[in-house]
Amino acid sequence: MSQPVGNASPLMSRSMTAVIVAQFLSAFGDNALLFATLALIKQLLYPQWSQPVLQMAFVAAYIILAPFVGQVADSFAKGRVMMFANGLKLLGALVICVGFNPFLGYGLVGVGAAAYSPAKYGILGEITSGEQLVKANGLMESSTIAAILLGSVAGGALADWHILAALLVCVLAYAGAVAANTFIPKLAAARPGGSWNPRRMSATFFSACRTLWADGDTRFSLVGTSLFWGAGVTLRFLLVLWVPVALGITDNTTPTLLNAMVAVGIVFGAGAAAKLITLKTVQRCLPAGIGIGVAVVFFALQHSMLNAYALLALIGLLGGFFVVPLNALLQHLGKNTVGAGNAIAVQNLGENTAMLLMLGLYSLAVSVGLPIIAIGVGFGVVFALAITVLWLWKIKQKKRLSRS
C-alpha cells in the first residue's frame, strides 16, 4: 500500500532511517567486495595493471545504463528500485563466490550500483524538506563513508585471513541491504508513465543532459563532483601500489586502513559542510577542492606511516567539505527541472566517465612502468589545477550574471 511521506516529516523518519541503514550495508558490501576481489585476482596472478580494470568493469555499467536508470528511478517507488538493485549486487557477489570470472561478477555488481544510485539520492528529496536536504546529504555521505571505512578494512583484513570468508561477508551485507529496503514505505513514483522505448528513453536522457549542462549552476556541480569521484577512485588504486613502494608493506590490510583514514576525514568534512554551507553559498567548497590536490602531492612523497595517515585524513576532510554541497545543489536544481532520478543519472554519467578516463590513464601509466610516487605527485598537481580552473570559471560566470 502506498504511503506518502510529506516534506514536514522529521529528518530521521522511518523512511530516512531505512534508507541510511540500507545505504550503509550496500556501501559496506561494495567496498569489502572490492578489496576481497583485488586479493582474489592477486592470488590468481593477474597482472598489476588489471587491478584498475576491475573498477573499470564496474563503472562501465554506469555509463552504458545512464540513459535508462534515471527513468527507472523516477517511474517506480524508489525504495523498491533500491531493493531490486541490491538484489543484483547480491547476485554479482555470489557469482564471484562460486568461482566464476571476478571481472564478470564485479561488473554485475556495477549494474546493480548503476540502478541503485539515482534512487538512493533521488529519494532524499522526497522524504526531506528543502531546508533539510543538505543535512540529509550529510547523513547519506556519512553513512557511505562509515561503510567505506568498515567495509574496506573488513575486506582487506578478512582477505588476508581467508578470501572466501571475505566474499561471504559481502554476500551477507548485500542480503541485509535488501532486507532493510523492505522497511522503506512505498512512495508514489515521481514521474510515472514515461516511454520504455530505448530510443525515446535515450532521447529523454540526453535531453536531460543538455538541460543540466546548459545551466551554469548544475554544470558547476556536475564538473566538480565528476572530478572529485574520478580522483577518489584513482587514489584508492594508487594506494594499493603505493604502500609496498613507499612503506615496504605487502599485505592487503594496510591499503584498506589508509583508505579508511580518507573515510574518517570525509565524515567530518561532510558534517562541517552541513553546518557551514547552504545552497546559496556552495562556492565556499572550492578552496577545499584545491587543497585535496595539494595534500595528495605531499602524501605521495611520504615514507612515514603516521604522516600518511594524517594526510589521508586531511584529504578526506577536504573531500567531504567539497562534494556534499555540490551533490545537494544538483539534487535541488535537478528535482525542479528534469527530475531527481534523471539528474542523478546525468551526474553518474559524468562521474563514471571521469572515473573511466582517470583509471584508464592510471592503468596506462602503471603498464608503461612510471614510478608510482611520480604518478601520485602528477595526479595531485593536475587535480589542484583542475579545481582552480573550475573556481576561476565560476567567478567569471558570477561577474557576467551580475552585469546582465
Q: What are phi and psi of 185, to 5 degrees?
A: -55, 145
Q: What's residue 3's pLDDT?
A: 44
What's the CATH code of the domain at 34? 1.20.1250.20
**CA-based torsion, 183, 188, 191, 196: positive or negative:** positive
Distances in Å between the Cα of 183 and the Cα atoms of 16, 22, 77, 79, 89 are 10, 9, 13, 9, 19
The pTM (predicted TM-score) of the whole model is 0.74
Q: Which of 171, 392, 148, 137 is nearest to 289 (CA)?
A: 392
Is 112 part of any domain?
A: yes
Is 202 part of any domain?
A: no
**CA-based torsion, 312, 318, 319, 320: positive or negative:** positive
Is 359 part of any domain?
A: yes
Mean pLDDT in the chain?
Answer: 83
Is 26 part of any domain?
A: yes
Lowest average pLDDT, out of 124-133, 180-189, 226-235, goes to: 124-133
Q: What is the rounded CA–CA span in Å between residue 197 and residue 229? A: 31
Q: What's residue 312's pLDDT?
A: 93
Q: What is the rounded CA–CA span in Å between residue 46 and residue 42? A: 6
Alpha-carbon dihedral 187, 193, 196, 197, rounded to 10 degrees: -160
E strands along 17-133, which residues?
Answer: none
Higher pLDDT, 93 or 396: 93
Q: Which of 70, 76, 87, 170 is nearest to 121 (CA)?
A: 70
Higher pLDDT, 114 or 204: 114
Domain count, the chain: 1
Q: Which of 103, 107, 105 is nearest to 47 (CA)?
A: 103
Considering 47-61, 271-285, 297-311, 347-361, the range whose residues carry the highest mean pLDDT is: 297-311
Q: Which of 169, 146, 228, 142 is nearest to 35 (CA)?
A: 169
Give the percent of the chain with pLDDT over 70. Answer: 90
Residue 1, pLDDT above cutoff 50: no
Q: Are 297 and 377 in contact (CB under 8 A)?
A: yes
Task: State the cell numbers at 19.
Answer: 534508507
The pLDDT of 197-213, averaged and rounded, is: 82
Q: Is 128 helix (H, G, I), strand (E, B) or coil?
A: coil
Q: What's residue 7's pLDDT?
A: 44
Distances in Å between the Cα of 137 and the Cα atoms of 149, 182, 236, 275, 351 are 18, 21, 23, 12, 17
Is 203 part of any domain?
A: no
Lowest average pLDDT, out of 171-185, 338-352, 359-373, goes to: 338-352
Lowest average pLDDT, out of 26-35, 90-99, 166-175, 212-221, goes to: 212-221
* Sequence-distant (≥ 6) Cβ neighbours of residue 280 within 8 angstroms: none
The 3-class SS string of 286-353 reads HHHHHHHHHHHHHHHCCCCHHHHHHHHHHHHHHHHHHHHHHHHHHHHHHHCCCCHHHHHHHHHHHHHH
Q: Which of 232, 362, 221, 366 is nearest to 293 (CA)?
A: 232
The 3-class SS string of 172-229 reads HHHHHHHHHHCCCCCCCCCCCCCCCCHHHHHHHHHHHHHHHHHCHHHHHHHHHHHHHH
pLDDT digits (tens, 9 = 90+) for 377-393: 998 999 999 999 988 88
pLDDT digits (tens, 9 = 90+) for 61-90: 878 887 887 777 777 778 788 899 999 999
Lowest average pLDDT, out of 23-32, 213-222, 275-284, 358-367, goes to: 275-284
Is 199 part of any domain?
A: no
Residue linked to cell 567505506: 148
Q: What is the rounded CA–CA span in Å between residue 41 and residue 36? A: 9
Q: Which of 261, 241, 271 is nearest to 370 (CA)?
A: 241
Is 6 part of any domain?
A: no
**CA-based torsion, 142, 184, 229, 190: positive or negative:** negative
Q: What's residue 315's pLDDT?
A: 94
Determine how many CB atoms are found less than 10 A away from the CB of residue 174.
27
| Containing structural domain, residue 320 | 14-192+209-403
Q: Are 299 and 311 in contact (CB under 8 A)?
A: yes
pLDDT digits (tens, 9 = 90+) for 11-20: 566 677 888 8
Q: What is the rounded CA–CA span in Å between residue 224 and residue 110? A: 22
Is 22 part of any domain?
A: yes
Angle among Cα 374, 380, 385 to the nearest 5 degrees reads 125
DSSP label at residue 279: G
